[in-house]
A and B are shown apart, each in its own frame.
Chain A
Amino acid sequence: MNIRLVPFTWARHIHVALVTVSTSVFCWWALIVFVGLRGAMWSAQLDGPIFIGVLSFGVVIGGVVAEGTLDARGIKWWVKSILLGALLIGGVGAGLGAWVANFLLLKISSSAAHNFEIAPVISSIRYAVWGFCAGGLFTGLGLVVVRGAKEMFNLLGGGLAGGLAASVVWWISKETYDPFFASGLAAVTWGGVTGLLAWVVPSSLYSGWVRVLSGTRFGWRVRVDGDDNSSSELVVGHYPLGLDMWLPANEGVRELHLSVAVTEDGRYLGRGMSLYPTVVSRFLERVDLRYDPEKPVPLETPLSSGDMITLSDGQTGTHLEFVMLPKREIS
C-alpha cells in the first residue's frame, strides 16, 4: 500500500477496504487450496471455526499491511502485529471464539444440534451467526492491537459488522450457489465491510498546501503545516518582509491578504485579512472572506482539499488552491 497512490479524496475511504478484501480473499483461497491438496484433516465440527478464523486472520493481516506500509512501521511493530494481532487474536482467537459460540449454541439448543447434524448446509442463519459474530469481535480486537486503543470502538464495531455482514452474504449465497462461492463471497464481504467501517487512511498522514494557480508564480506551493505537527499559520500577501507566501501586488494581492491555518487537531482554516475580495469557492458554494471592519475578528472558513481561493484587488486577481498532499511525498 503506497500513500502516494491515495489522494485525499473518497479514495482514502476505500483503500484500507481494498487491502483487507485482498488479504481475506487470499487467505480463504489458501485454505481452499490446502484442503484441495491435503483434504480436510480436522473434525467436521472444526470446519466453521477454522473457516471463520482464517477469514478473520485475513482481515487483520490486511489491517497490518495497511497500517504498516502507510505509517512505515518498524520491524518490532510488524512482528507484534502479525503474531499477536493477526495470528493469535485475529486467527486463533476468532476460531476459538467461533468454536465456543457454536459449542454453547449446541449445548443450549437441541434443535440447533439436530439441524446441524442432519442438514448443516440448509440450517438457519440464526445458528451460524454467533460464530461469525464471535469471529468479528476478535477481528476488531486484532485490529485494536494493530492500530491501538484510540479507535477501539470503531475497530470493534467494524469487525463485528464485517462478521455479521459476512454471515448474511454467506447464508444467502449458499442458497443460490455452492459452498465454494458462498465462502468466497463471505471473505470479500468480511474484508470489505470491516475495511470500510473500521478506519480510513488518516488525515494525519497528509499536510495542507497552498498552491498558486495563476500569474507569474504559477505552480509555486507552500506547506501550511509546521514540522512538529502543531498548529501553524501561513500568511499570503505582497508585504515585502516575513511572509510565508509572497505574491506580486500587480496580480491583485494586497499586503496581508489571506491567512491559512492548521489547528492542533488537524483542521485547516482560511481567514480573510484584507478589505479586498477574498473568495473561497468549492462545489455549489462560494464564501467571501473579505474583512469586515465592523467585526473584531476576521472571517474564516474551513478548508478542504481542492478548495479554490481567489485573491483580488477589484481589477485583477490571483487564483490559489488549497490541496492536501501526503506528507511523505515531500519529505
Chain B
Amino acid sequence: MGFKDVLAALCMTAMFSVTSVAFADEGDNFQPVSGSMARMEVLDRDEGDSYYLRVFSTENECQNLTDRFGEDYRDCMPIVDPGNGNVRLAVQVIGGRDNSPLPLPLRVSDETHTVNPHRYIKVSHGVDDVRDGEDNQGVERHVEIVPHGEVSGNQLFVLLIDRSPSMNANDGGPRSRMEKTQRALLMDSVVDGFFGGLNNKVLLLTFSNDVRGLGGNSGYELISDRSRYRDLVGQLSTGGTQTRLYESIGTVVDDVLTHADVTRFTSSGTGVYAQVTVVVLTDGFNWTSSSDTCGSNARELGRLLRRLNTMSNEPNPATIYTVGLGTEAIIDFPWIQRGDDAVLYDDQVRAYLNQPPTPLTLCGSLADSYIDPSSGAGLEDAGIDNASLAWIAHVGGGDTYVRRGARQLALAFEGAAAKRYEWFELRYHTDPTYFNQSFETELRLQAFADASARVMFYPPAWFGLPEASTTDEDWMGEPTPLRATLGFVVPVMGLAISLVFVGSASFNLRRGLTRSRPKEPPQPG
C-alpha cells in the first residue's frame, strides 16, 4: 500500500462526508435540541392568523431574544427530556401590523409566586391535553409558565369609571362608593403600578349615559405625570342617569382607542406600540331604563363580546379588566360545581364563557328580574352584575374582581396594572412513555389573542445523552453534565484494564502456590 492508496482513501472519506451533509440538508429541517439527541421542527402556522406563538429553537434566536433583556440565553433553549417526560419551550406571542411581539400581562400569584398556566395557555402533547394533576393512568402531570422579558416600555392604562348616581351610595359606611374608588386609585401601590414603566400613561374616563374624558380640552388627556393624575382623580364626580356599561366599553374600543390623541401614543412612528389595558369599574348593572331586566342585557352583552372578539385579532389589542365595587348579585355564577380538580373547573368555566350569553346563561333564575324598577327593590340593590363583568374580562383577555373596600379595590387595580412579559418559558411534564415516539406539541393561547403553535419532536432512536436528574421538588430537573458520562465509560474501561492484569496475576499466583520447591540433590554413593 502506497501513498496513493492512502490519498484515495482520504478522498473517499471526504466524499462520503460531503454526501452525508448533503443528505442531511435535503432530508429534513429538524433542529437539534441542545443537550439531547432529540430534534424538533416548528411547524408552519396557519395562514391568515393575525397572531401566532413563536417557539424558539436555536441558540442564535435565543441569544437575540435574551440579550435585549440581559437574560441568560440558556433559559430560552428548548429542552426535551424523554426519560423524565419533560419539555421546555420558550414562547413569544407575535403578530399585529408589523409582526411585533405582544407582551402579555402574566399575573404572578401573590401567594404561590407562580403564574397559573391554564389561564393563559393550553398544551396538547399528541392528543393528550396536559394539565396539572394525574392522568387516567395515575401519572402526575405538570404545566408551568415562567415569565421572562419584563417590558419596561410604553403602557397605556385606560380607567373607565362608573359615574352613575348609585356611586353616591355609601353602603352604610362613612364614604361613598366614588370616594372609595378615589382612595383606591390614589394609593401609592396603585399609582406605582400605573406609572411603573419608563413611559406609561393613564387615560381617565367616566361613563354613565355617555363616555367622558377627564382633563384635556377637546380631546383626551394622556396623563404621564403622577401629580396631574392625582389632581384628575380628585375631580372624579357622579352624574348622569343611566349605566350604559356595554355601550361605554364599545365606545372606548371603537372611538377612544382610535382617537388621534391616543393613537399618537399607542402606535408611534417607530412601530413600537404602547400596550393598552382598559380597567372598567362599575357598581351595578348595565341599565338604561326601568324596564331593563337582567336577561334583556344578554343581547347587548353578546354584541359587545363579538366586538371584543374581533378586537383580539386586530393590531395591538387592548386587555380589558373589570372591577365590581360591591357584592355579587348573581350568586354562584356560572353554576358549575367546583370539585377538587381546580383545573377542570377552570376549563369548564372557560368553556362556559366561550359561548355567547343568553338570558338563561347570563342570569339563571334571575333572567326576568328587573334591575332598577320604578318602584321597589331591583337587582342593583342586591349588588353588581358579576356575570357580565366575568364575561367581558374573559373575552377581553384580562381578569375580573369584585371588591368592597378601598384597600381591596386597590389590590384589584394593582392586578390590572400587572407587569407585561415579552416571552415566557413553558414547561410541562407528562407520561415518559409518550416520548418513545415522535410527538406533536400544540400550544394555544387562552387569553389576549387567538394564537397557536405546533412543534414536532423526534426523540433519539439510536443513541442519546444521559437523562436529566430530577427531584420531587424540581420536576423539571437539571440536564445531566457531560462528565456524568464517565460513570459508564470509566467502570467499563477500568474493568477491561483490570482484567488484563488479572490474567497474568492469576497465572503467577497459581504457579507460586502449586509448583514444587527445589529439592536437595541426592548424596553420592
Contacts and interface: CB of A to CB of B under 8 A. Distances in A.
A213 B515 contact: yes
Interface residues on B, range: 35 or more
A71 interface: no
Contact of B37 (A35, A80, A87): A35
Contacts of A188: 492
A215 B518 contact: yes
Contacts of A151: none
A44 B28 contact: yes
A216 B521 contact: yes
B500 A88 contact: no
Contacts of A9: 503, 506-507
Interface residues of A, number: 76
A201 B195 CA distance: 82
Interface stretch (B167-175, B239-247, B318-326, B458-466): B458-466
Nearest to B493: A22
B493 A25 contact: yes
Contacts of A45: 23-24, 27-28
B516 A96 contact: no
Interface stretch (B3-11, B138-146, B249-257, B258-266): B3-11
Contacts of A41: 24, 32
A43 B31 CA distance: 9
Nearest to A305: B507
Interface in B208-257: none
Interface string A35-52: 111011111111111010
A88 B6 CA distance: 10
B438 A118 contact: yes
A104 interface: no
A213 B462 contact: no
Contacts of B497: 18, 22
Contacts of A227: none
Given A7-B504, A121-B437, A44 B12 contact: no
A269 to B, nearest CB: 23
A15 B34 contact: no
Nearest to B437: A119
Contacts of A35: 37, 465
Interface stretch (A175-183, A259-267, A285-293): A175-183
A40 B32 CA distance: 6
Given A31-B463, A46-B20, A119 B496 contact: no
Contacts of A128: 462
Contacts of B482: 32-33, 36-37
A134 to B, nearest CB: 14
Interface of A: 1, 4-7, 9-12, 14-15, 18-19, 21-22, 25-26, 28-29, 31-33, 35-37, 39-49, 51, 76, 79-80, 83-84, 87-88, 92, 95-96, 116-123, 128, 178-184, 188, 213-216, 218-219, 248, 250-251, 316, 319, 321
Interface of B: 1, 5-6, 9-10, 12-13, 16, 20-21, 23-25, 27-28, 30, 32-35, 37, 39, 82-83, 436-438, 458-467, 482, 485, 488-489, 492-493, 496-497, 499-504, 506-508, 515-516, 518-519, 521-522, 524
Given A39-B33, A42-B20, 6 more contacts: A11-B502, A42-B21, A122-B436, A179-B37, A180-B464, A184-B489
